[in-house]
Structure 1
Amino acid sequence: MPVILAIESSCDETSASVCVNGQILSNVIANQTIHEAYGGVVPELASRVHQQNIVPAVQQALSNAKVSKNDIDAVAFTRGPGLLGSLLVGVSFAKAFALARNLPLIEVNHMQAHILAHFIADKKPSFPFMCLTVSGGHTQIVLVKDYFDMEIIGQTMDDAAGEAMDKTSKILGLPYPGGPLIDKNARNGNPDAYKFPEPQIPGFDFSFSGLKTSILYFIRDNVGKNPNFVQENMNDICASVEKRIATILLNKLKRAALQYNIKELALAGGVSANTGLRLGLQQLCAENGWGCFIPKFEYCTDNAAMIAIAGYYKYLKKDFVGQDVAPMARMIF
C-alpha cells in the first residue's frame, strides 16, 4: 500500500498531495496573486513565491491526509514541461526530501499527468481513448493507449487555446487571469452574436494566432465606431469567442475520434475548466454515443493530485530516477 508524496510547481501554483494506494487523500494548492499586477506570470517572481509556499503546502498536505513523513514510501514531482525556475524549486525540494529519508524519486511529465488525472475518480476511461489536452501553453490531441503509452496526433502550431483566451481578455480590458472571466461573462451572452473565423489547418494540428488577430481587428474596428462597444457587448463577445475556440477544438477532436475509431473521449488541462468547452464535449459525445470523461474542476488546473496518481502508476512499475535528475522546461512525452 504505497504512500506517495507529490509536488507540483511547473508554473505559478505550488501544490502538494498525498496518495495512498491510488487514492488521493489530500491536494493542497497555494495560488500566487502577485502576478495580477503584471497581467501575467512573471517567472522570477513565481520561483521566489514557490520557495515561500512549498514547505507550508507539504506540511498541510501531510496533515490533511493524516500521515507523517515517516509514512512516505516515495516522492513524485513534476520534472517538466514548465517554467525552469519554478520547476527547480519543486525538483530540489523533492530530491532533498527523498535524500533525507532514503526514498525513491519519481519524475512525472506534467502533460501526461493532466491526462492521468482521469484515473483519480471512480469513473475511469478505458484504453485506448482520445484526450484533448488544453492549457495556457499546450493544445494537444493525444491517443492514450496505456498509462504511459501516449501518442500526440495533433497539436498547436503556434499559440495555445488558453493563451488565445488570455490575450482576448487583455484586448477586452479584463484583469488577469482573464480566462475564468471570459467563461463567467459568456454564460450570460449569445454565442452566435458574432462570427469569428475557423482556421483551416490540415490534419489534426491547430493554430490560434490568426484567430487572435481577427478578434483584435474586430474590437478595434467596432470601438472606432462606438467607444463603448466592448462594455455594452461584453457578454456576447465573450460567448462568441468561447464558442469559436471550443468549435475549433472539438471539430478536430471529432475527426480524430472517427479516423482512429475511438469511442471514449476525455478532456484535460487548465482550459478544461471552461464551461462552454465542457458542455460542448458532453454534447459531442451524446450525439455520437461516445463515453465522455472530464475531471473535477480541482483536478483540471495545475495540481499535485494528478502528479500523485501518475507517480502511483510509475511506483507500481518501479520506474524511479536518481538524485542527478534535473528539471526540463521543454519536456515531451
Structure 2
Amino acid sequence: MEKYVFDSGVAGPALVITGAVHGDERAGPDAIGAFLEGWDRVLKKGRVTLVPVVNEAARAQNTRFVDVDLNRCMGVEALGELSEHKIVPAVRALLADHDVLLDLHSFRKGEGAFALLGPKDNQDGLEPFAHEEAETAFGASVGIKRVLHGWLGSYNRALADFNASIGKTDDPYPALEKSVGMTEYMRNAGGYACTVECGQHDAPDCIDNGVSAIRGALVGLGMISGEIPKVDGGFECYELYDVVIKSHEDDGLLVDNISNFDVLPKGEPIMRVGGELFSLDEEGVIAMFPKVGGKIGESILTLARPSNRLG
C-alpha cells in the first residue's frame, strides 16, 4: 500500500485516511489526490497517514474485490489464501497504529452522500465502545448531512435470528466473522472512526465531498486551521434498526426501484420475507442498502428510522 505520512512533531491525534477498500470506488483515491494537490502540508499537531488505495489488486482490475469483500472480513480469524485475506494483517497493523480512521467510499445506486458512525458507548461482547462523544463530533466535522449509525448491532441480531432458524445457536455474535470492516476493526483496536460514502461513483460532487470530508476531519481534530464544513438545515440522522435476511428462495424485493433513503410505504407489500409478503406497520421508515436477488443468508434490505444522535 502506498502511504503519504505527515508528522507535525507535536503531540496530537494519529489520523489515517483510506480509499479504495473496494477497488471500483474512485472516491478515496481521487479525493486524497485532489486534497494533497491543494494542501500546504502543514500540520498544527499530530500525525496523518493517507492511503489512496488499500485493495490494490481489486483496484487494478476495477472490481469491488478479488475474492471476498475486504470491508466484511477484517474480523475473520482463520485467514486463508484469498487475495483480501492476504492483506488483512497489514491493514490491521495500519489501523492499530492510529487513533482515528476516515474511510472514503462511493456507491453504485442512489443519490446523495452519507456518513456512518458506530455504536453508542457500551460494554457488550459484540462491539464494546467508549468513544461515542468523540466519534459523534468527528462524524459531524466531515460535513455530510445524512448520518447513519447502528449497522453492526442490527445485522448481528438479524443474522443470529437467521442462524437460529436453521438450528445454529452456538455463536451469539456471528457478525464478527461476517461483517467486521475497516471502521469496526478500528473501534476494536481502541480507536474511533467514520465512513463517508461520498456519492455515486461518477456523480459530479463525489470527489468534492471526499475532499471536504478530509479537510473537515483534520480541522475537527485540531490538526489544521480552517472551518468545519457547514451543513445547511442541520443533520439528518438515522438509526439502522433492522436487517432483513433472505431465508427462502422466493424472498426479495418486489421491485428494483428502491434506493437508499427512500421512504418506504406503510402497509403496502414491498418484499417477500420467509416466502410471505411483507409490509411495514409504521411510518417514516427509510430504505438502506437494497439488494435484488442474492443468496439465502444474505441481506435484502436494511431499515432505518430517524435518530436524534446529532441533535
Write 1 or 2 for the structure with the bigger share of helix.
1
TM-score for the superposition, normalised by structure 1: 0.23
More relative contact order in 1 or in 2 (CA 8 Å, sep 6+)? Answer: 1
